[in-house]
Each structure stands twice: as C-alpha cells, then as structure tokens.
Amino acid sequence: MSSPKQAILPGKTIGVLGGGQLGRMLAHAATRLGYRVHVYEPQAGCPAGAVAHKEVNAPYEDLAALADFARECDVVTYEFENVPSAPLQHIESLTALRPHGSVLATAQNRSREKRWLRDNGFPHARFAEVAADGDLEAGLREVGVPCVVKTADFGYDGKGQLKVMSEADVSAARKKFAGQPVVIEQFVDFACEVSAVVARSASAAVRVFPIAENIHANHILAFSIVPARVPAEVLAKAEKLARLIAERLDLVGVMGVEFFVTQSGDVLVNELAPRTHNSGHYTIDACMTSQFEQQVRAICGLPLGAVTLLSPVVMVNILGDAWKWDAEGKCVGEPNWDALLAQPNVRLHLYGKAEPRPGRKMGHFTVTARDADMAYEFAQKYLARL
C-alpha cells in the first residue's frame, strides 16, 4: 500500500470499481500513461473490462473477491456512485481508495448530500427529508408546491424522481414513493444548468475545467456546450463553489458538480458526483488534459495537468434511440455513422456496449468550431443526420 505522499508511478496497477463507459475511458487514459488497469464489475463482458488488463466479475458484497482484487492494486477508484459503503471500508483497509469512502458516502445519498451542502453553507434549493414511514404530505407542505420528490438512494438521469407541480400530483407522488425515504426539493425555475469538473490531488492542488452549459432531454444530458454561454460572474461563482466543495470534502480525485443558474443569476448546487462526469467528456478532444487523465493524475499523486480549453466545443450524447427500431421494438439497424465520420470537426466515441436500448448511453461525439454557438448549431445538425 502506498503512503498518501508517495506517487504511484506508471507501471503500477489502478483498480476501478464499475465497468461502464466512464471506467472504459479511464482505462484508455491510464494505459496510455503506462499503468495497468484492473476492473471489478458484477456483470461479465463490461465496456471497461474489454480494454483493461484484468476483469473481475463478482458481487460488491463478496468481500473475499474484493479483498483479492484490492491486494493486486496500488490504488482503487470508482466510476459510479452505487457501490455499497461496507465494501469500500474493506478496501480502504487493504490499499489506497481515492476518492475516500467518506466522499462517496456523502454523495451517493441525496439526504446526506443535501444535509452536507446545508451544514457547510453552500447555496442549494430548499429541501425536506421524509423517512420511509414518514409523512410525505407534511414534507410537501414544508417545501411547497411546485417541487420535485426524489428517492434518497440510487437515482440518476431522472430516475427515481417526480415533479409535483400542483396539488393534483400529490396522490401520484404518494403512490410512487410509498415506503421509500425521499428528499423533497423546491422546484427551481432556472435559466440554465451548468456543471464543473473539479480535480484535487493528494497534495491539495485543485484544477477546475472550463464550465459546461448543459441541455437535457427527458432528464438525460443531451448537449454540453463549452464555454458555457453565461455571464462571466456566473462562471466565476460556479468555479469557486466547485473548488470550495472539493477542498471541504478533502477530495482526492475528480468530481462533477451540477448547478442551477437562476433567472436572477444566482448559482445553486444541485448534485455532486465524485467521479468523472458525462458533461466533462468534451475534455478528451478539447482540453490540454482530459478529465480521465486528470483522474489518474489525482489518484496517483502526480501533478495535475493543465485544463486549458483548446477550442470551443459541444459534446453530444448518443442514446440507443439513434438505432433503427421496428414497430415491435426490435433493433433493425445501426445509426448512420458515415454522417459523423465525414465531418472533419467531429470526434466519435462509442462505448462498446453489447446492445442498444432506448435511453441507454451508447456513445458520444464532440464538435469543435470557432465559437460555442456555431459548435452547437453543427452538433444539432449532425445529430439529426444519425
């Protein structure tokens, strides 16, 4: 096990908990720098495992398998939040875990996350917590309608949440969340959503990538536009908040911080993700250092890389909806990849997933141009051609 101050140099082994696309792109960055990558994922044949040196398939609750995995790794990180906390404590007793398990424990539960933001003085939407056997309607009265009801655990891409826009929606919320702990958040009539990817090293150096402006469709990120088309003071607020959050959490690694920008220009923290972030994929093609290389640098105790933006850029998520489907819901054809590959300002990234599904993230592409508006215009046009 390496000490916190000792750099973990190329040639050593990085362990990744989770085998999705974030782990895959992390493995690409790590192997390019000369590291070995081992992936621990319950499901066989995962996207990250396909490009790693070793793939271990076992449940996260299998402490013996997890211990064997950890002992082979010089540092372990994770590529998604839904890793049970008990196994993380087990890993930390065997090797370096970065970010620390306490960071994940805070961010993977909405109640703990909101409480942490409140207790540490970070701006956020008004909220109330309701226990599994609690009074949902009392919570709704406390926050007020309109609001958003969210499960406390395991929610992402709009899953596990419901807007309550009027009293007529209360009965639907009561039915949907019966017996579940929830967080009720004030509905924010925001002007836009932005996000920051922040990295912090073991030596407390901090770098914040250029702020992204995010556009969602059906609760899933569709476009990330960089630089964000918001006033300079909004960019400064978001960057400062991301930096302070990383420092207060004692983050060692990379974190995505999502914000609401209100109509009056206030910046509210929405969610924390202690890993690389979907809205940071643009960094692979448009920054001096990608968010994935930065994650490697941070967790291995190396100097952080420059986060300079080389070109205005838009990242576009490619969902399974882009495949051709018949009336019975059967996939009958691939997207028109030629339409993207023919464009000199486009870079395509596919995640190696076994089968497409509507709403499933299958890949992304980036579009560079002389300014953000032009890049966004091209991105919409190219997406339509798929």
- Residues 11 and 24: their CA atoms lie apart, in Å, by 18
Better-scored residue on pLDDT, 152 or 346: 346
Give the containing element (helix H, strand E) for 111. helix 110-119
CATH classification for the domain delimited by 190-385, as one of 3.30.470.20, 3.40.50.2300, 3.40.50.1820, 3.40.640.10: 3.30.470.20
Give the containing element (helix H, strand E) for 221. strand 220-226
Peptide bond into 59 cis (omega under 30): no
Asked if 188 and 268 count as a contact pair (C-beta separation under 8 A), the reply is yes
pTM of the predicted protein model:
0.95
pLDDT per residue as tens digits for the range 54-69: 999 999 999 999 999 9
pLDDT confidence tier of residue 159, bands split at 50, 70 and 90? low
pLDDT per residue as tens digits for the range 13-70: 999 999 999 999 999 999 999 999 999 999 999 999 999 999 999 999 999 999 999 9
pLDDT confidence tier of residue 154, bands split at 50, 70 and 90? low
Class of 126-186 in CATH: alpha beta
Question: Residue 77: exposed, middle, or buried by beta-carbon count in 10 A (0-12, 13-18, 19+)?
Answer: buried
Q: Which candidate, 97, 41, 43, places its Cα nearest to that of 73? A: 97
pLDDT confidence tier of residue 160, bands split at 50, 70 and 90? confident
- Break the chain into its structural domains and give their ranges: 13-97, 126-186, 190-385
The answer to whether 13-97 and 126-186 have equal CATH topology is no
Class of 13-97 in CATH: alpha beta
